[in-house]
Amino acid sequence: MKVLVTGGAGFIGSHLVDALIDRGHQVVVVDNICTGFIDNVNPAAKFYQMSICDQELAEVFLQEKPDLVNHHAAQMIIKRSVENPLLDAQENILGSLNVIRNCIHFGVRKLIYVSSGGAIYGEPEYLPVDEEHPVNPVSEYGVSKHTVEHYLHLYGLRDGLDYVVLRYSNVYGPRQNPGGEAGVVAIFASQMLRGERPTIFGPGDKTRDYTHVFDIVEANLLSMEHGERATYNLGTGVETSDQEMFDTLAETLAYTGSPIYASVRPGEIHRIYLDSSKANKELGWKPRFTLSEGLSQAAEYYRSLTGPAFR
């Protein structure tokens, strides 16, 4: 099968590309290298450096004729979406529409779309959050990611597009870039290793559901053959606070410093963790990595990096 992966030079997308190639698939990567890295791209994949907003994307579909598209490319930083909602909407909504319309025009068999299980629901009315929970995002990022789900529903009904929506919890693991503003594990670990004091926004009681990138990749692979016009939460169902994350990483990395506590950032919810029983039932997916196992592996990855610039 030939698979086109948007965002395939990024943290999660590049691991997916590796897994697809390992399983014998042909892979085409589209990435503008805004937050991804060329070094992440598997040399066996065919690479196009372009934005999903570019009209030239149609030429890639015409030339490559992918059977399936996995759409990971996105503007994913909540703070940036709050400060520049026009850019957020352009990349996440208009860029996704460009991908979707090309899928329909060129007869792509299936589209896998990456949504957010942390941002679209807003402050939870109950926990854990399942797929039936009301959608009330409190950030522009959450709005833009969920808007695309409505377009998929429309094009599924009207044009017969088959798709799967994967709502990720907080993903962590090797290749996550600590130089950005997303990915607390990468940011905390790299700062601790440099002897710096990580910043916790709020008193440390904000919670998230942390899922290892290899488990997320497995769900994407399962979604290629299972699920029809379906939406799935992907998380561990375990709630971890910022303070717990700091303490666990500090112990893992033998860090003896203390965090800096700053004001809570706008657009961030206070508590969330996901119910992924639907993915377990319909996809046969279940996370394999415990948080302690995943953090130990991530810590080794960040230890292996040298110099002030972390990839």
Q: Catalytic site residues?
A: 141
Phi, psi (degrees; rounded to nearest 5) at 135: -100, 110
Residues 259 and 197 sit within 8 Å (Cβ to Cβ): yes
Residue position matching structure tokens 């039936």: 132
Identify whether 128 is preceded by a cis peptide bond (ω within 30 of 0): yes
Q: Which of 119, 76, 123 is nearest to 271 (CA)?
A: 123
Rounded Cα–Cα distance for residues 302 and 173 (Å): 10
Q: Which of 213, 221, 205 is nearest to 269 (CA)?
A: 205
Q: At what angle do helices 291-304 and 242-253 cross, to 10 degrees?
A: 60
Between vectors from CA 174 to CA 285 and to CA 305, what angle results, nearest 5°? 170
Rounded Cα–Cα distance for residues 43 and 25 (Å): 14
Q: Could you tell me if residue 303 is left (phi over 0), alpha (psi between -120 and 50 degrees) or otherwise beta? A: alpha
For the chain, the maximum distance between any two Cα atoms, rounded to a whole number of angstroms, is 58
DSSP 45: S
- Token digits of residue 13: 């997308």
